[in-house]
């Protein structure tokens, strides 16, 4: 989300709300699993949008949250190569060597689940593979810092330190966000910062961690379509996103995909 919204309060979700967040998170992850085989050379991002839209509305009974959100025209975001985030699906065909982020947000029973991952179209370049891996690890390190008593600064610091140690840069204009009945709630979850700074985490908080990492400089611009964010220097950019709940003794990732649910690293 946009890192410049007015301050509201950070909610502690009730057990009933948390149960619904688990369902919404799982359904959002399922859309990423469903779309994977379709992400091939020659497909258009608009076709991917239609397939996701149909799956969400007809198979899942979910509402695609992006559609008509602040006039966003499609049901998913597709951000290709030097596009950082909020790419609008269109008629351009994916080609071998592209990398694409697909960002899915569903609403089920009034609650949002928000998650994104990177896909390789054919074989990626060495740089693309490295950037995508570092970005996923950065998200995972940020999530690993989440527990009661830790702060938002601990998350940002873990991400920034790791990304910059690889010579890449963090986009600062967009951040993670609280999530629940609203798509974007308080708090803002910056992907950079200082350990110990900021809000102290408490059980029942729900927010996303979604670092955007550029191979080049951190600067971005928004295209005239009003949505698509690209790197100013046209360098490659990657993003991964999970929705996370703060639990009594740590955290729970609500948007694990099948491959992650089978991984002993995610108990």
CA 214 – CA 127 distance, rounded (Å): 11
Nearest Cα residue to 85 out of 134, 133, 118, 44:
118
Considering the rule CB under 6 A, would residue 30 count as an interface residue with ligand MF3?
no
Among residues 46, 60, 72, 250, which is the contact residue for ligand MF3, using CB under 6 A?
Answer: 72
Residue 121, C-beta contacts closer than 8 angstroms, at least 6 positions apart: 39, 40, 41, 94, 95, 96, 97, 98, 99, 100
Whole-number Å distance between alpha carbons of 203 and 18? 11
Quick one: 162 exposed, middle or buried, by C-beta within 10 A (0-12, 13-18, 19+)?
Answer: buried
Q: Is 86 in the site for ligand MF3 (CB under 6 A)?
A: yes
Which of the listed partners (Co ion, ligand MF3, none) does 72 bind, with a CB threshold of 5 to 8 Å by partner kind?
Answer: ligand MF3
Closer to Co ion by CB, 23 or 233: give it.
23
Distances (CA, A) of 20 to 13, 26, 27, 179, 236: 10, 10, 11, 12, 36
Residues 190-209 binding ligand MF3 (CB under 6 A) are 208
In the bound state with Co ion, the residue whose beta carbon lies nearer, of 53 and 130, is: 53
- Site for Co ion (CB under 5 A): which residue of 49, 103, 185, 252? 103
Greatest alpha-carbon span in the chain = 48
How many residues lie near Co ion (CB under 5 A)? 4
What six digits make up the tokens of 51? Answer: 């397939």
The answer to the question of residue 241 lying near ligand MF3 (CB under 6 A) is: yes
Residue 210 in the binding site for ligand MF3 (CB under 6 A): yes
Q: Which two tokens stand for residue 222?
A: 């928004």
Which region, judged by CB under 6 A, interacts with ligand MF3, from 69-77, 122-130, 140-148, 195-203? 69-77
Phi, psi of 213 (to 5 degrees): -125, 130
Query: Among candidates 82, 128, 85, which has minimal Cα distance to 105?
Result: 85
C-alpha–C-alpha distance, residues 158 and 193, integer Å: 8
Q: Is 222 in the site for ligand MF3 (CB under 6 A)?
A: no
Q: Of 62-70, 124-132, 146-154, 160-168, which segment contacts ligand MF3 by CB under 6 A?
A: 62-70
* Minimal distance, residue 210 CB to ligand MF3, in Å: 5
Comparison of 29 and 141: residue with beta carbon closer to Co ion: 29
Give the range of 6-14, 195-203, 220-228, 238-246 binding Co ion by CB under 5 A: 238-246
Q: Is 114 in the site for Co ion (CB under 5 A)?
A: yes
User: Where does this chain touch Co ion (CB under 5 A) — which range of 12-20, 54-62, 87-95, 110-118?
Assistant: 110-118
- The residues of the shown chain that bind ligand MF3, judged by CB under 6 A, are 1, 66, 69-70, 72, 77, 86, 103, 105, 114, 208, 210, 227, 241
């Amino acid at each position: 989300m946009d890192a410049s919204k007015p301050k509201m309060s950070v909610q502690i979700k009730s057990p009933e709300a948390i149960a619904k967040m688990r369902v919404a998170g799982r359904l959002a992850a399922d859309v990423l699993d469903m779309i994977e085989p379709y992400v091939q050379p020659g497909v258009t991002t608009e076709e991917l949008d239609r397939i996701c839209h149909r799956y969400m509305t007809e198979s899942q009974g979910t509402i695609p949250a992006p559609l008509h959100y602040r006039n966003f025209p499609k049901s998913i975001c597709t951000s290709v190569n030097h596009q950082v985030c909020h790419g609008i699906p269109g008629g351009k065909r994916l080609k071998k060597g592209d990398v694409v982020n697909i960002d899915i947000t569903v609403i089920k029973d009034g609650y949002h689940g928000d998650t994104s991952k990177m896909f390789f179209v054919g074989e990626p370049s060495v740089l693309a593979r490295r950037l995508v891996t570092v970005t996923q690890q950065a998200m995972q390190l940020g999530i690993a810092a989440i527990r009661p008593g830790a702060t938002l600064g601990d998350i940002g610091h873990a991400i920034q330190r790791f990304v910059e140690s690889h010579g890449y840069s963090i986009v600062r204009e967009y951040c993670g966000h609280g999530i629940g009945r609203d798509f974007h709630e308080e708090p803002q979850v910056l992907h950079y910062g200082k350990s110990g700074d900021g809000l102290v985490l408490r059980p029942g908080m729900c927010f996303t961690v979604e670092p955007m990492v550029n191979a080049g400089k951190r600067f971005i611009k928004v295209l005239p379509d009003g949505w698509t964010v690209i790197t100013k220097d046209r360098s490659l950019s990657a993003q991964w996103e999970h929705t996370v709940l703060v639990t009594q003794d740590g955290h729970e990732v609500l948007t694990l995909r099948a491959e992650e649910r089978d991984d002993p690293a995610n108990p």
